[in-house]
Amino acid sequence: MKYLITGLGNIGDEYQNTRHNIGFIVLDALAQEAGVKFEPGRLASIAKMKYRGRVLILAKPATYMNLSGKAVKYWLTQENIPIENSLSILDDIALPVGGLRLKSKGGDGSHNGLTSIIEHLGTTEFPRLRVGIGNDFAQGFQSDYVLGRWTKTEEDILIPRIKVATDIIKSFVSIGIGLTMTKYNKK
């Protein structure tokens, strides 16, 4: 069985370790844990790993956040992976820093990366893991906030939660979304 695990973010040094790039950060942690490296691929950097007999295609879109759906659609088609075997990891200002919420479907929540995926897939019914980045910004400064770097306090909260996020991904591919949501969403 194959899965496409997509971490949303923006390419380039200026975006590295920003709140908006939490999807990249989680995938980097999972790849490091599995001992695999990302290689340039079409529309994304790609790493392949195995976990409990499943093949995971890890994708970090090179399309920038607002066009993430292009990469997701391409790799789902290229690898012949059904939508329900995909998981998109993204930042969420509606959750506190380090909060984790796995969902099987839903709207875009004003997240441009999700908007793009919904447009390219033609559905809102695909799994996503939202990682909380908090909302400690003044009105009108959301863009500056999400593209800003983590504070030391936020990093202290977030670092152990990244490991939980990688555990959620492994649970998702091994026992499915329903049981994984039951196990992790109530914490």
CA distance 176 to 120: 24
Q: Quick one: pLDDT at residue 108? A: 77
For residues 140 and 75, the model is more confident at 75
Q: Is 111 a catalytic residue?
A: no
For residue 81, what is the DSSP state? -
Q: Quick one: pLDDT at residue 137? A: 79
φ/ψ of 43, rounded to 5, equals 65, 0
CATH of domain 2-184: 3.40.50.1470
Which is nearest to 69 in space by CA: 119, 106, 20? 119
Asked whether 98 and 161 are in contact (CB, 8 A), the reply is yes
How do residues 54-97 score in pLDDT, each as one tens digit?
999 999 999 988 899 999 999 999 999 999 999 999 999 899 99
Confidence label for 141 from pLDDT (cuts 50, 70 and 90): confident
For residues 94 and 141, the model is more confident at 94
How do residues 157-175 score in pLDDT, each as one tens digit?
999 999 999 999 999 999 9
Strands 2-7 and 86-92: parallel
How do residues 95-132 score in pLDDT, each as one tens digit?
999 999 999 998 877 778 899 999 999 999 999 999 99
Chain-centroid distance, C-alpha 57: 13
How do residues 1-28 score in pLDDT, each as one tens digit?
999 999 999 998 988 888 889 999 999 9
Asked whether 133 and 90 are in contact (CB, 8 A), the reply is no
Q: Quick one: pLDDT at residue 147? A: 85
Helices (H) and strands (E) in the chain, counts: 6, 7
- Tokens at residue 52, please? 């409990």
pTM metric for this prediction:
0.94
Whether the per-residue pLDDT at 43 is higher than 80: the answer is: yes
Which candidate in 5, 19, 20, 165 is catalytic? Answer: 20
CA 103, 104, 110, 113 dihedral sign is positive
CA distance 78 to 108: 24
Q: Quick one: pLDDT at residue 187? A: 56
